[in-house]
Amino acid sequence: MSTIRTTTLRRAGLGAVLAVAGVLAAAGAASAHVTVHPESYAKGATDGLLTFRVPNEDDSVSTTEVQVYLPTDHPVLGVLVRPHDGWTPKVTTTKLKTPVKTDDGTITEAVSEITWTGGKIGAGGFEDFDVAFGQLPDDTDTLTFKALQTYSDGKVVRWIEQAAAGADEPENPAPVVKLTAGDESGATPAAKGSATAAPGSTSEAASGSDSTARGLGIAGLVVGVLGLAAAAFAVVRTRSTRS
């Protein structure tokens, strides 16, 4: 095979490799947001669990502080923070502008901020921070949990942006839980099972579904790219045979 044909084949193979790398890099960037799981609950759900997943998206520094802000206009009641090895949580409460009446009495304060410090999330890693709740509000369709992620070099990434209706996802979206109409008990299957499920099972199920869908999409793109590379190889080889 001549030098020209060999170079052509090498370029085709290199192009395929670069295309695959680009697909994988794009997928990694898209999944590097701070998220909350599960992504939906029933309005007024009780005794559930929210898991905030924090990936470290910087290859040169570590995440050393995570702050999550809970809404106080539609407060989450009865918040408890699960102990997390290496991390120390600080819980801040705020007096509510509008007290919430419950079967146990009127609630005048609610958790407005949780800050985790003392730990470290290295490059390519992530941590799940679990927050239990006693009751979710029933007078809104979404709960937005703005978050700040601080790195060891002092850089702060603010996950606080909210997408407008019909618009593309912003660069730094805030974690959001959708609240749906549930049954009379006010609990979805996820909410009902969260009190007795194994630690992290709710978040693992949600994240597993997301990961599976993402993996299938990536696999399809990779197969397509490899198919193009194979076609290019065949064309070059045919031309070589004819000549």
Query: What is residue 202's predicted lDDT score, i.e. its pLDDT?
Result: 39
Query: What is residue 182's predicted lDDT score, i.e. its pLDDT?
Result: 72
Question: Per residue of the chain (243 residues), what is the pLDDT tens digit?
Answer: 554 444 444 554 444 444 444 433 334 434 589 999 999 999 999 999 999 999 999 999 999 999 999 999 999 999 999 999 999 999 999 999 999 998 889 999 999 999 999 999 999 999 999 999 999 999 999 999 999 999 999 999 999 999 777 778 899 999 999 999 975 334 444 444 333 333 443 334 444 444 444 454 444 544 454 454 454 444 445 454 454
Q: In Å, what is the CA distance from 14 to each residue of 47, 224, 226? A: 53, 15, 11
* pTM exceeds 0.95, yes or no: no
- Report the sign of the C-alpha dihedral through residues 189, 130, 123, 57, in that order: positive
Query: Can you tell me the distance from the alpha carbon of 14 to that of 176, in angstroms, rounded to the nearest whole number?
Result: 40
Query: What is residue 132's predicted lDDT score, i.e. its pLDDT?
Result: 98
Query: What is residue 30's predicted lDDT score, i.e. its pLDDT?
Result: 42
Query: What is residue 227's predicted lDDT score, i.e. its pLDDT?
Result: 52
